Chain A
Amino acid sequence: MTLLEVKNIEKYYAQRPFLFKRGQEAPVLENVTFSLQEGECLGIVGQSGSGKSTLGRIILGIERPTNGELIFQGVNLYEAPSKEKKMIRRNLQAVFQNSYHSFNPKQTIFEILEEPFLNFEHFSKAERQQKVRELLDCVELEWAMAQNYPSQLSGGQQQRVNIARALALKPKLIVLDEAISSLDMILQKTIIELLQRLQKELQLAYLFISHDLQATRFMSDRILVMQHGQLVEEIGKDGTYQHPASQALYNAILPSHPRERKKKDRPN
């Protein structure tokens, strides 16, 4: 079943407005259309500045597109009344790249994780504690950690808390915007395994936004390649790369050993 439909999304940023005159408008996204099935992991790759993060932000509702439609669970998010929109948006959560900055430094881990419940449920304090305990369990963290502040956690632990927060409301779709890019290789692997386990257990769909083709290939069922704000290619899990932009990303993957480097890349 189709979970999310993105139809002809366009986004322009006004450049250097002067007094009352609007400046020239620069296109960031042009005519982006795709759909995402329930339980699917869709990868979006592209170089920096290709508009993939903006796309993520539009889907999350942080920004509004200049044109286009966003249909989530069969509801047009730009036409729904705001109350209904809020209920639908709870099925749409996110994990950002910079895990530390996505926490309020004045809140403890417990306060961070109970916030979604305070917003949507009428739980007692004991129930919230139980829920937070379950969430921490889910991402393999200790309950004792709940009284710590984000700055006292390591990068991997922070990203786990981030994932736990995204899971709190039992969403249908999680947007992972460069969610593992700032972690080291070993941590990336454990987090990917965690994400894949959760996907199976909770029937989650992921929108995996990354510049790292290798990790994306590992995670995703399908991959969309973006360049200059446009979708240029769709590749299956083991498909081949036709478009120059995809090939550039593919060639940027380092081989596991220098001897496997292609001859032409070798310095003379």
Chain B
Amino acid sequence: MKFVRTKSGNLTGLISLFLLVITGLLGLFAPILMPHDPFAVDIAKKFSVPSWDYPLGTDHLGRCILSRLLLGIRYSLGSALIIQLVAIVLAILLGAFVALKRGLIDFLFIRLCDILLAFPTLVLAFGLLGILGPSLKNVLIALIFTQLIYYARMIRGLFIGINEKDFVQAARITGTTGIQLIRRHYIPNLLPSIVTIVALDIGKVILEIAGFSFIGLGVQAPIPEWGMMINEGKQYMRQHPELMLYPGLAIILVVLLFNQLANRLKRLD
């Protein structure tokens, strides 16, 4: 595969990819790997120090922190992946539609995007969450929406750029239209740029999900989302800073890895 071949000289990218795949697998197999039930409250064991039984100790309710971190991968990383995937697929459909239609629909679409993009993304997502109410599902909806606006506009631009290329016109003359045109000519040529942008934004989305949970607008306790874990730990910051430290480090690490990977992808382009 070309991707792997060009990457082989490129250690940082490979290491990031490797570590992210491992993280993903840890999240996927969390139920098997978890040493304890992450929801099992045992007040008698609260704030226990790391031991063989509890590798990272327990939190203020005596729950195993390692188990919670492992299950949290699903909420932090998993939701971010779902958000990006759904947003980019919808954006491709929407952006392709307006780019090929042009005319009034395109004009209205661009004006609407301009208006929505005038708000900072976070403010827009706050507004949506305020209306929908805090929950994991609504965080997904709000972030998919804000990412969608941004991506759809970008993909429209990419499509229009390719529209003018000679090979698309040559394909039209040989009778290729609609979906076939998109599948054979647009997507293969745009995929590298799209993958890079999606990867570049995953870090941002993870931070946003954690941020929403931290301020109480996102995932609700007792779900072990990393931002939520920091939120829960902040009451005990002076006595037990590790409650915030572990999920905080996990967030930093995953976001850093994604940014590294995206940076390398960008240079491949």
Residues of A within 8 A of B (CB): 60-62, 86, 89-90, 92-94, 96, 98, 101-107, 111, 115-116, 118-120, 162, 165, 168-169
CA distance A86 to B172 in the complex (A): 10
| A-chain residues with CB within 8 Å of residue B170 when the two chains form the complex | 94, 96, 102-103, 162, 165
Determine the residue in chain A with the shortest Cβ distance to B174: A116
Once A102-B167, A115-B184 are accepted as A-B contacts, the answer to whether A62 and B172 lie under 8 Å apart by CB is: yes
Taking a contact as CB atoms under 8 Å apart, the answer to whether A62 and B167 are in contact is no
Residue from B169, B180, B185 within 8 A of A119 (CB atoms): B180
Taking a contact as CB atoms under 8 Å apart, the answer to whether B184 and A60 are in contact is no
| B-chain residues with CB within 8 Å of residue A165 when the two chains form the complex | 170, 174
Taking a contact as CB atoms under 8 Å apart, the answer to whether A119 and B174 are in contact is yes
With an 8 A cutoff between CB atoms, is B175 at the interface?
yes
Residue from A60, A101, A107, A119 within 8 A of B165 (CB atoms): A101
With an 8 A cutoff between CB atoms, is B173 at the interface?
yes
| A-chain residues with CB within 8 Å of residue B23 when the two chains form the complex | none
CA distance A90 to B175 in the complex (A): 7
A243 smallest CB distance to B (angstroms): 32
CA distance A98 to B169 in the complex (A): 12
| B-chain residues with CB within 8 Å of residue A96 when the two chains form the complex | 166, 169-170
Taking a contact as CB atoms under 8 Å apart, the answer to whether A94 and B166 are in contact is no
| A-chain residues with CB within 8 Å of residue B176 when the two chains form the complex | 115, 119
Taking a contact as CB atoms under 8 Å apart, the answer to whether B174 and A169 are in contact is yes
| B-chain residues with CB within 8 Å of residue A111 when the two chains form the complex | 184
Taking a contact as CB atoms under 8 Å apart, the answer to whether B171 and A115 are in contact is yes
CA distance A118 to B180 in the complex (A): 10
B237 smallest CB distance to A (angstroms): 53
| B-chain residues with CB within 8 Å of residue A62 when the two chains form the complex | 169, 172-173
Taking a contact as CB atoms under 8 Å apart, the answer to whether B175 and A119 are in contact is yes
Taking a contact as CB atoms under 8 Å apart, the answer to whether A104 and B171 are in contact is yes
Residue from B166, B174, B188, B189 within 8 A of A115 (CB atoms): B174
Question: Taking each of B165, B167, B177, B184, which has the highest tally of chain A beta carbons within 10 Å of its own beta carbon?
Answer: B167
| B-chain residues with CB within 8 Å of residue A102 when the two chains form the complex | 166-167, 169-170
Residue from B172, B175, B180, B188 within 8 A of A104 (CB atoms): B188
Residue from A94, A104, A120 within 8 A of B173 (CB atoms): A94
| A-chain residues with CB within 8 Å of residue B188 when the two chains form the complex | 104, 106-107
Taking a contact as CB atoms under 8 Å apart, the answer to whether A103 and B173 are in contact is no
CA distance A101 to B165 in the complex (A): 7
Question: Taking each of B174, B180, B184, B185, which has the highest tally of chain A beta carbons within 10 Å of its own beta carbon?
Answer: B174
